[in-house]
Amino acid sequence: MIPPSRNPRSTDPSLAVVAHDRVYRSLRAQVMHGELMPGKALTLRGIGKTFGVSMTPAREALRRLVAEGALTLSASGRVTTPALSGERIEELAAIRALLEPELASRALPRVHIALIERMESINAANLEAAMRRDPVAYIRTNLEFHRAFYLRAQSPAMLAMVETVWLQLGPTMRALYARLRRNGAPPHHRMIIAALKAGDEPALRLALRTDVTQGLRHMLSMTATE
């Protein structure tokens, strides 16, 4: 198990908080963007060495990520990135299909041309990542495309729930997308942008739901053949 924290009297609490937050944010991004493969073990010693921090901020960062579902904690205390079953992928896909069209609908009235242009730019970067067959950059730009839009919904609680799902999917998406060898950006991104330009909410919801479910359906089909 992750042992309880101990703060030496000589340690400045404010510095410990800063170190913990830095480690937490860095590891969180690595998990979400698929920089870590499924089942990757993380240790306090390894994190401390990588980030140049003591055991306390490393421990608190791991504890927080386990609580978010970004990492799993076994009965023996081993901390790893999640390795998802087909059933778990299907469950998370259903959650995305429910929440993300709703976020899109809430964001639509606040969309402006500068946001659409930014999403087109992110989608171009996503295409470049696909052409380079860079799964980490592909996942990162794919999520950036969605998050830039969802921020306009001004629904932080709902967005936090969606990001928790992205966290759980990150490592498995990396493993499977690397094998998928996609050579283009998701086709439904163009449909999302077209719906935004037209202000068409039904088309936007359909494009979002299809985009989310189709990608995860590919993942499910691949796990079924393993």
- Examine the domain organization and report whether 105 and 72 are in the same domain: no
What single-letter amino acid sits at 20?
H
178 and 144 in a common domain: yes
pLDDT at 85: 86
Q: What is the CA 80 to chain-centroid distance, rounded? A: 16
- Along the 226 residues of the chain, how does pLDDT read in single tens digits? 555 544 443 455 555 568 889 999 999 999 999 999 999 999 999 999 999 998 889 999 999 999 998 999 998 889 999 988 888 888 998 999 999 999 999 999 999 999 999 999 999 999 999 888 898 999 999 999 999 999 999 999 999 999 999 999 999 888 877 666 666 667 889 999 999 999 999 999 999 999 988 877 766 665 555 5
For β-strands 41-42 and 79-80, DSSP reports them as: antiparallel
Report how far residue 52's alpha carbon sits from residue 209's, in angstroms, rounded to the nearest whole number: 42
Q: Write out the residue range of the structural domain in which residue 24 sits.
A: 13-80
The pLDDT score that the predictor gives to residue 5 is 47
- Indicate the burial class of 203 (C-beta count within 10 angstroms; 0-12, 13-18, 19 or more): middle
User: Where among 56, 80, 104 does a domain terminate?
Assistant: 80
pLDDT of residue 133: 86
Across-strand partners of 42?
Answer: 79
153 with 41, same domain: the answer is: no
CATH of the domain at 155: 1.20.120.530
| HSE-CB of 109 using CA atoms within 13 angstroms | 4
> For residue 145, what pLDDT is reported?
96
d(CA 22, CA 121): 28
Burial tier of 184 (Cβ tally within 10 Å: 0-12, 13-18, 19+): exposed
Q: How many domains does the chain have?
A: 2
Q: At what angle do helices 201-224 and 86-107 cross, to 10 degrees?
A: 170
Q: Distance between CA atoms of 124 and 116, rounded to whole angstroms?
A: 12
Contact status, residue 110 vs residue 154, Cβ threshold 8 Å: yes
- CATH number of the domain within which 58 lies: 1.10.10.10
pLDDT for res 27: 94
Euclidean distance between the first and the last CA atom of the chain, given in angstroms as a whole number:
31
102 & 210 share domain? yes
Q: With CA atoms as reference, report the closest residue to 211 among 75, 105, 100, 78.
A: 100
For residue 220, give both structure tokens. Answer: 């499910």
DSSP code, position 103: H
Residue 47 lies in a domain: yes
Say which residue the tokens 């073990």 belong to.
Answer: 41
Quick one: 106 and 53 in the same domain?
no
Q: Give yes or no: residues 37 and 92 share one domain.
A: no
